[in-house]
Structure 1
Amino acid sequence: MSGTGYQTLIDCRRRSRYLRQHGFTIDQIATILALDHPATPLRLYRHAAGLTATQTVNAFHRLADTAGAELRESRLYDYENWPKAGRRPSPYTLHLLARIYGTQPACLLTPAMLATYAPRDQYALRRTDA
């Protein structure tokens, strides 16, 4: 991680810990972090949850019951950089990441990002009972 990226993570972890202690939800924290950090919602939610990429990948594999081929840190970074660079995450991946971060899958995307998915996937990502 670059020095700037690491400092951003440290700042976000500190702020999110403070905000969680004061009763803010992960969704509220991600919104607050977005005011100071120009990043995709997917990255902001990871920071709001106070997780490193390694911690996120490990949690992903526990939920998916996989041994490591499903998601690597480099792929997580690709997802977090999309749509300007990187790759678009699958709906399945977004569902698992949302569970890890304590939010809904659609919250991990901007409306423009959500619009790139097929209508049935948009519906599944917006569902709150999944």
Structure 2
Amino acid sequence: MSGKGYQTLLECRRRGFLLRAHGFTVDQIAIVLSLDHPVSPLRLYRYAAGLTATQTVTAFNTLDSSGAASLRESRLYDYELWPEAGRRPPVWALRLLARIYGTAPGQLLSGEALAGYSGRDRDALRAAPGREVLTGSADQDLPVFS
């Protein structure tokens, strides 16, 4: 991985590491990062966790108990671009990504995007997370539980 996106991720990892050292939660880190990075909440949380798309996809596919619905990097990027472009993420995928990032699934969407889901789906997205937080570092190939 190279380019501006990777440099942004490295910057966010450094800031996230420093903020975690001061007791910030992943939700608070995502808010701080949003001040400098006008991207979707789903991408902000990946940045807040310090994970590359590859690490996120690996964790997702490892945690997916059904094993039937694997995630690819291209699909993750599609989800991160929605609703301006890309593809709307299904509720089950958001719930699994929330476990990886250590937040509630509804936090991964803007208020406008959340309103596009049915009432039942909005209730499922507001559920509490499993709080399994994965964090990445520049010298890691795969995420580890922290």
Deviation string 1:42-101 (CA, Å, 9 cap, x unpaired) is 000000001110110011011103668520001000000111111010000000000000
Match of 2:72? 72
User: For structure 2, which runs of at least 5 residues remain unmatched after alignment?
Assistant: 131-146
Which structure 2 residues correspond to residues 17-56 of structure 1 after superposition, within 5 A?
Answer: 17-56=17-56
Kept after mapping to 1: 8 A contact 2:103/2:129: no
Q: Work out whether 1:100 is the aligned partner of 2:100.
A: yes
Match of 2:121? 121
Please give the root-mean-square deviation of Cα atoms over the aligned residues, in Å. 1.7
Q: Work out whether 1:62 is the aligned partner of 2:62.
A: yes
Match of 2:13? 13
Distance in 2 between the 1:90 and 1:39 partners? 19
Distance in 1 between the 2:87 and 2:23 partners? 34
Structure in which a larger fraction of residues adopt helix = 1
Percent identical across equivalent pairs? Answer: 65
Kept after mapping to 1: 8 A contact 2:102/2:129: no
* Change in CA separation of 1:34 and 1:64 when aligned onto 2, cut-off 3 Å: same
3-state SS of the aligned residue for 1:96?
helix
In the TM superposition, residue 128 of structure 1 has moved relative to its aligned partner by: 2.3
Distance in 1 between the 2:129 and 2:12 partners? 29
In the TM superposition, residue 103 of structure 1 has moved relative to its aligned partner by: 0.2
3-state SS of the aligned residue for 1:36?
coil
The farther-off stretch of 8-17 and 24-33 is 8-17
Distance in 2 between the 1:88 and 1:119 partners? 16
Q: Work out whether 1:86 is the aligned partner of 2:86.
A: yes
Kept after mapping to 2: 8 A contact 1:61/1:68: no
Number of matched residues?
A: 130
Equivalent residue letter for 2:24: F
Q: Work out whether 1:3 is the aligned partner of 2:6.
A: no
Q: TM-score, normalised by structure 1?
A: 0.93
Distance in 1 between the 2:68 and 2:37 partners? 30
Kept after mapping to 2: 8 A contact 1:26/1:102: yes
Larger RCO, structures 1/2 (Cα 8 Å, 6+ apart):
2
Kept after mapping to 1: 8 A contact 2:30/2:44: yes
